[in-house]
Structure 1
């Protein structure tokens, strides 16, 4: 079968990483002998014309689209347009949003033929084998589709053996574009989450039992991603520190090989020890992210977080002793939120900040499948929006009996202003020539990311990147000509463009193709296949 996979649009300010789940799906399909291609509209501009051309060029039997709640509108638009352009194509969606809203989604969108429920690695392979015979879909575990009597769900599938899965098919992803934007690349060392937080669907998606990958294979993958030029690897396990022996084994394998790899991980404050953190630091871990959620003890109990504020303080102190940067995230608008609990979270965040913790505030997004949404009548909470594009956790879409959306937004806006002030201070340092390049690099890299992204999404190099060329021109001169030509295409000066383009060229994100007396500048989209 010929299968076209699509990663729908997702905002750059959400710092997206290459689509790991979709790459796993592509890998198992390729291993089973299917022809697979991928469109990534996170780092390429979307248009109906581009989608139609891809369908015409590849002539796929099926279209598979992934989505989270925030990207669902973009994802279903792709599905509907694909069906319009090719009514005979079979359409499939996966991801947490449709997994937990399958009946509603299938009923609302007849253009969507099928939904993969939960992990899709084994489901999609079996489904692809019977794709043309819909009478056989009922025999494939982990599917939802329309039947004669309504939506059919074929029942849960036993979670896959993570050590039997092929490496993600990253050769199909334009990794070079993510690398140019400075995004981290994600991978997993395990699947599963034993915890039951009321605002999360992780346990429902991947199971309560944690399945661990072979540490040798984990480090092989880390070394490969580092070789591709990614300066930061994000271990995207729900909880990397869930098993002390596994954590030590991965770190020991890195240290034994003498690899200099920079990486981050997620953890709970009640699963770390100074011994583990010291080992992680030695193995290249520079940041550990903790979900704190609230600075109020009663709120932590209400959301079934299972931690205490004393444990948070202890974990931060251990991180500081080990030399690992702790990051803490808070969620505002949880059930029972009051002005007093909001104040507790703000003050606890300030306390952590004084201890060297990077922290941020997000707002509750009651995703389909979360306990807080499924049992809304049990909580002091009102959902104010069903517009999935608003479920980005940056502005309030809920309220409680005593806390309005405006009160919660004010907290987040205040935190955002502090970050803007920090960037403003860096800009003043740079303009006055007082800061070193290293000191102002966070601002410089952010500017490069914005400009490079705008160039990519407006197809500036594709449309204007060809110039006349003299063989005695140096790269700096040629890039200067390019910057001059494209000035005005995005919001950046000629000098700023030349700086960003020079950086991209030096890092290998941008390459020239010379033919006769013409030079064509192109982004390095695809990196080598393992």
Structure 2
């Protein structure tokens, strides 16, 4: 039984700029299938230059028994387009879709999209192997943990699979990918790695902690070091994004990975997403982190008051965020802070407070994200209950588009203030000049990118200024 994994042509989130990163999720799935001697082919359309027009012939030529893909919420329509295409090529193909979006919407998805045969809920590595073996032997799907499917017209979900032991997994199947093609705007030699899965916290706006399950799990540092060495020395990738939901949870995990980078003499610059409180707690590691290539850290600022941080169940304080930014500046680590606009109780006054707060923080790169009710999150449940969501087009659930009003502001007003946030921070001639003339080479490069992004946002806001007039 042959499996064809496809990451379809997708539009990259505008904030990311000219970005092309390896599809790690599918690369892990491919590696596990190879480990079990199951024939597999992996097509990364963006990396391989494959268009929608090319795909039918690729599917026809591969002649797979199974076509599999994964999708986050804003890319879900691409997954749907892909499985429909696969069924047009050969109605006998079994289509399988995984990822966070379908994990939490499997009932609606199976009701509305008949071309999807099976949904993988949660982590897919062990599930896909059991699923292939089940289909090969014509066994009953009820014995496969972690899936949802139709049984005589009724939607059935099997028991969720326990979290996988990350150290039991092979390294991603990089040999099936065009590694030389991956880049991130100004970083020509770019790749991604995950060193852990999950998050020990439960922010109301996030569903990833539920998708990956408890507890937070870390890979063996030696395995991470081996993968970094392959990526750096074999595939010549010098810029690495640690794509963990929260990289800096554990002191020894961070320290050991830094030591692996040093011991293996790797020429990498790396960046990650983490928490302000852990950054402070492990501040004595910052010199080692910087020395081994940590050039940028992204933290969730989220809100400008302790009260709103509590509502979001963030588990940090404004003072901790300020101290984390100060420490990054002290150690010449570029700081990137994400703050949410359009929360349920946001007003003009609270948004102005957020704008001024981000200025006072002096974070190098403030990123304003639109409050988005992702399926699986507590925010989604509350927004559905209060009937606040006005736009259910999942293409727009990208944290840059307004899909619901606040209790006081319309989507039109929110859209205008979202543009104002960017204008305030990326249209200031003095800030632009300071950024472009920074002694930090990495910071200069990001400022060039963010300046272009700010201009694009300003034009976008102007051209679409009437879009939210309801």
TM-score, normalization by structure 2: 0.86
2:297 aligns with one of 288, 298, 303 = 288
1:46: Cα distance to partner?
5.5
| Correspondence for 1:397 | 403
Q: 1:176 to 1:258 in 2, by over 3 A?
A: closer
| Correspondence for 1:346 | 355
Check conservation: 1:67, 1:75, Cα contact below 8 A: yes
Q: Any gaps of 5 or more consecutive residues in structure 1? A: 431-436, 449-530
Q: Secondary structure at the match of 2:278?
A: coil
1:44: Cα distance to partner?
4.9
1:171 aligns with one of 164, 175, 179 = 175
Output the CA distance in 1 between the equivalents of 2:357 and 2:447: 27
1:104 aligns with one of 108, 115, 139 = 108
Structure number, greater radius of gyration? 1
Check conservation: 1:185, 1:233, Cα contact below 8 A: yes
| Correspondence for 2:374 | 367
Q: What is the number of equivalent residue pairs in this alignment?
A: 439
| Correspondence for 1:25 | 29
| Correspondence for 2:152 | 148
Q: Any gaps of 5 or more consecutive residues in structure 2? A: 453-470
Alignment of 1:37-436 (within 5 A): 37-44=41-48, 47-132=51-136, 135-148=139-152, 150-179=154-183, 182=187, 184-227=190-233, 228-273=235-280, 274-353=283-362, 356-376=363-383, 382-417=388-423, 419=426
Q: What's the CA shift string for 1:333-366, capped at 9, x where partnerless?
A: 122222222122111111123xx52111010221
Q: 1:220 to 1:298 in 2, by over 3 A?
A: same
Q: 1:234 to 1:56 in 2, by over 3 A?
A: same
Q: What's the CA shift string for 1:59-86, capped at 9, x where partnerless?
A: 1010001111111111101101110110
Output the CA distance in 1 between the equivalents of 2:382 and 2:29: 32
Output the CA distance in 1 between the equivalents of 2:430 and 2:154: 54
Output the CA distance in 2 between the equivalents of 1:180 and 1:192: 24
Q: 1:21 to 1:438 in 2, by over 3 A?
A: closer
Q: What's the CA shift string for 1:239-275, capped at 9, x where partnerless?
A: 1111111111111222233333210011111111320
Check conservation: 1:8, 1:66, Cα contact below 8 A: no
Q: 1:401 to 1:438 in 2, by over 3 A?
A: closer
Check conservation: 1:96, 1:205, Cα contact below 8 A: yes
TM-score, normalization by structure 1: 0.77
Output the CA distance in 2 between the equivalents of 1:317 and 1:294: 18
When the two chains are superposed, the root-mean-square deviation of aligned CA atoms in Å is: 2.8
Q: 1:270 to 1:76 in 2, by over 3 A?
A: same
Output the CA distance in 2 between the equivalents of 1:445 and 1:300: 29
Q: Secondary structure at the match of 2:223?
A: helix
Q: Secondary structure at the match of 2:34?
A: helix
1:420: Cα distance to partner?
6.5
1:416: Cα distance to partner?
4.0
The yes-or-no answer on 1:5 pairing with 2:5 is: yes
